[in-house]
Amino acid sequence: MRFWVKLGFISFGGPAGQIAIMHRELVERGRWIGEQRFLHALNFCMLLPGPEAQQLATYIGWLMHRTWGGIAAGALFVIPSVFILLGLSYVYARFGKVLWISGALYGLKAVVVAVVLEAVVKIGRRAFKSWLHVVIAAGAFAGIYVFGIPFPLIILAALALGCVGALTLPNIFNTKPPAKPAASADAVPEVPFVISDDGPLPAHAQPKAKRLFWLLLLWAVLWVLPLGSVLAAYGSESLPAKIYLFFSQAAFVTFGGAYAVLAYVKQFAVDSAHWITSEQAMAGFALAETTPGPLIMVLQFIGFMAGWNNPDGFTPTWSAVLCALLTTFATFLPCFFFILIGGPYLERIRKSRILSGALSAVTAAVVGVILNLALSFGATALFPEGHANVLGLCISAVSFVLLVFLKLDVLWVIGGGALVGLARVLFLP
């Protein structure tokens, strides 16, 4: 419990940094779980929609200490960021037009463009195993950018192509396990693992039909309770009801982590429903990058701003907090059940050639979707009203070089961008 509380407050750096922290603390230092068990769990979590780092924490907590261990690990990974981001969201919504805050956000938005472009590069390196994956990414980009095809349909098409490819072109659609994280200098190999690679799985980690039934029933009850309460209090046409249903759907289709889910949510919340603006979505991304916890917490900010912008007879603060908490609950509830239900079947799932090929195609499609997100953010931050924002272009270009080529930590880059934006409004006319 002490470790998961600590992790909730120090888990900066996005999923890569968070997974590296868990590997260092749980595999190398604590010797809680063996290297191969850790990598197998990571493989499984990368196949799922949603935040892989939070799901990995849930899996390890469940494997070591049953259901309540998984709930504790996954919840404590998220809870600190829930309250931190609520506070930051209120400051943004209430004081966003204050000179020094708007100046800092000016720089942050330019950095966000570079961060998303970096994600295109990083995920593309992992996803492009053949020219067919490049074609899938290009098709996904054209589908969402040119034709406005909904994100779930793009994912379904990529899944279908991947399944067919895995059967007909297995050498092209085969996937490799994630690279082994580098060992740190203070690893202690003489201490035995609590859950070793060679030992049998604990009894609670074995597949059981009765357990599966009760978990599915529990998930249904927990999902229906907030929905029923919102429908009874506000009606089916209210924003809280629409928020809860939309983000529940998003939790099941957004393979590819926070960048993919943000692309999907932006397509609906900004372009279709007009709950928030593109600038607000960028601000939320920047704030989520600066707080501990999973990057997918940007969705809580989007829910908050949707409620703030559309109070519908309530005070903006009450509407915003309600929509933010409903968003967070709808986003993370499935994550726990993906692990608690799917964990016992991990060994079977990870060896499926068809599933592996299908997910490789989805990962390639996600690259195209994220590229669309980068262009959309770039148009908003760097070319407002069709005119080039020269300083913003410079901030984005320098940030991209620092992130991709010099490998500087994203928190330093975000901090630098905020300082440049602040200096612009304080010292430049």
User: Taking the alpha carbons of 41, 43, 46, 48 in that order, is the dihedral positive or negative?
Assistant: negative
d(CA 269, CA 278): 9
Taking Cα atoms as reference points, which of 412, 348, 151 lies closest to residue 267? 151
pLDDT, block means (10 residues), the chain with 429 residues: 88 73 86 84 80 92 93 95 94 84 86 87 85 93 90 87 84 54 51 77 85 94 97 95 96 78 88 92 86 89 96 92 97 94 77 78 86 87 87 95 90 89 83
Which pair of tokens denotes residue 397?
């270009």
Residue 155 CB-density burial (10 A; 0-12 exposed, 13-18 middle, 19+ buried): buried
The half-sphere exposure of 113 on its side-chain side, counting CA atoms within 13 A, is: 25
pLDDT score of 81: 93
Angle at 402 between CA 51 and CA 47, to 5 degrees: 20
pLDDT score of 196: 82
Q: Is residue 13 part of a domain?
A: no
Q: Is residue 195 part of a domain?
A: no
Angle at 258 between CA 114 and CA 50, to 5 degrees: 165
Coil, helix or strand for 324? Answer: helix
pLDDT score of 177: 46
Rounded to two decimals, the pTM is 0.82
Amino acid at 312: D
Q: Is residue 124 part of a domain?
A: yes
Measured in degrees and rounded to the nearest 5, phi and psi for residue 146 equal -90, -45
Taking Cα atoms as reference points, which of 285, 306, 287 lies closest to residue 88? 287
From residue 384, alpha-carbon distances to 145, 148, 414 in Å are 19, 22, 21
d(CA 199, CA 194): 10
Give the number of domains in the chain. Answer: 1
DSSP structural state of residue 33: B
Q: Is residue 409 part of a domain?
A: yes
Q: How many CB atoms lie within 10 A of CB 245?
A: 15
Domain that holds residue 155: 82-178+218-427
Q: Is residue 102 part of a domain?
A: yes
d(CA 41, CA 346): 8
* Residue with tokens 């609590």, as numbered in its chain: 194
d(CA 30, CA 32): 5
From residue 333, alpha-carbon distances to 26, 157, 223, 324, 326 in Å are 24, 26, 8, 14, 11
Coil, helix or strand for 195? Answer: strand
d(CA 46, CA 178): 9
d(CA 165, CA 182): 33
Q: Is residue 198 part of a domain?
A: no
The half-sphere exposure of 372 on its side-chain side, counting CA atoms within 13 A, is: 29
Angle at 239 between CA 233 and CA 241, to 5 degrees: 55
User: Taking the alpha carbons of 394, 411, 377, 135 in that order, is the dihedral positive or negative?
Assistant: positive
Q: Is residue 290 part of a domain?
A: yes
Q: Is residue 72 part of a domain?
A: no
